[in-house]
Amino acid sequence: MTSRRSERRPGEFELISRYFSPLAKTRGALRLLDDVALFRVPARRELVVTADAIVEGVHFLRDDPPASIAQKALRVNLSDLAAKGARPAGYLVCLALPADRSARWLGEFAGGLARDQRRFAISLLGGDTSKTPGPLTIAIAALGTVQRGKLISRGGARAGDLVFVSGAIGDAGAGLEMLKSRGSGKGPLVRRYRLPTPRLSLGMKLVGIASAAIDVSDGLIADLGHVARVSGVHIAVAAAQVPLSHAFRKQFGTGERAVLRAATSGDDYEIAFTCPRSKAAKLASIARSSGIAVTEIGSVMKGSGVTLRGADGRALRLARAGYTHF
């Protein structure tokens, strides 16, 4: 990887055969030798498909490691599948590549995809590469399957349900802020910003348990707002119950301002979901067996919108509901 030749920017076909063809692990990918991929949906399941792009300077920073950029592009899509209870199968990637990326950079980028393919048991299915005079842009379409009729939608929350969230909230937003203010950084908060963890195993176990779910990308309050709107309900979140990581608490404390910061920053990629009270015991056992913290943070009521409530039960004033990438 250090010879002059390997640092030369490869052409499109060389790039595909060297870096991407080895990622086409499934027969339907047709070894990336065709313009399309084939995919057969197993019996009693249906196809779930999602597509999200990430743009340099908007969703990631230029100096982020190439492997983590690739993994983030993939994982934000896998996170969408996770929140719907789907099992991922494969993905297509459209890569708009600035001229200044070296062969080494590309090798690390493909290496990140390779690691995540193994971790999440998925295969590259196709896509294309193109030059761009602008920022690196990676659009991924991810395919998965779910039991027929069992997709966990945003629209199933009902008054009386409880509200839960996986993992901890706020780390990624804090990590981004750190990177922006200092120009660089490391540590657990930055790692959480660069490399979200899609909650796939938990999501699949929530099928038949959760009444509605969403992955937290815009911010906990903003995303629960989508659930509230589509379900036609009000969601009340207790600020004191929002789970904060050790690293986050160490930096910002546990007061209401810290919770406000956590609940209105984005990029957490945890699953926020609602669940009927009748299924709470089953959920507790799922959470124990999945090894991922699942925290009850509020309840669903008649009405509309989302409130974040302080210790006295009053709604806290929100300057913004979340972070927008638009």
What is the binding site for its own copies (CB under 8 A)? 11-12, 15, 30, 33-41, 46-55, 57-59, 80-81, 83-84, 86, 92-96, 125-135, 137, 139, 141, 143, 146, 148, 151, 153-155, 214-215, 226, 230, 324-326
Between 130 and 285, CB nearer to its own copies: 130
CA distances from 64 to 176, 180, 313 (A): 11, 12, 41
Between 47 and 159, CB nearer to its own copies: 47
Give the three-state DSSP class for 87.
strand
Between 204 and 238, CB nearer to its own copies: 204
Residue 64 CB, nearest distance to its own copies (Å)?
A: 16
Residue 297 CB, nearest distance to its own copies (Å)?
A: 20
Residue 74 CB, nearest distance to its own copies (Å)?
A: 14
How far apart, in whole angstroms, are the C-alpha atoms of residue 53 and residue 59?
9
Contacts of 233 (CB under 8 A, 6+ apart): 157, 158, 159, 227, 300, 301, 302, 303, 304
Between 130 and 289, CB nearer to its own copies: 130
Residue 127 CB, nearest distance to its own copies (Å)?
A: 5
Neighbour tally for 220: CB within 10 Å: 30
Closest CA to 247 of 257, 239, 258, 238: 258
How far apart, in whole angstroms, are the C-alpha atoms of residue 37 and residue 30?
6
Neighbour tally for 107: CB within 10 Å: 16
Residue 71 CB, nearest distance to its own copies (Å)?
A: 18
Between 12 and 187, CB nearer to its own copies: 12
Between 54 and 300, CB nearer to its own copies: 54
Sheet of strand 294-301, all strands in order from the earlier edge strand to the far edge: 212-215, 271-275, 162-166, 294-301, 234-238, 305-309
Between 216 and 283, CB nearer to its own copies: 216
How far apart, in whole angstroms, are the C-alpha atoms of residue 88 and residue 203?
11
How far apart, in whole angstroms, are the C-alpha atoms of residue 124 and residue 250?
40
Between 55 and 318, CB nearer to its own copies: 55
Contacts of 90 (CB under 8 A, 6+ apart): 26, 28, 29, 37, 39, 122, 123, 124, 125, 142, 143
Between 277 and 320, CB nearer to its own copies: 320
Residue 222 CB, nearest distance to its own copies (Å)?
A: 10
Residue 38 CB, nearest distance to its own copies (Å)?
A: 6
DSSP string, 226-259: HHHHHHT-EEEEEGGGS---HHHHHHH-SSHHHH
Residue 247 CB, nearest distance to its own copies (Å)?
A: 27
Terminal-to-terminal C-alpha distance of the chain: 37
Give the three-state DSSP class for 30.
helix
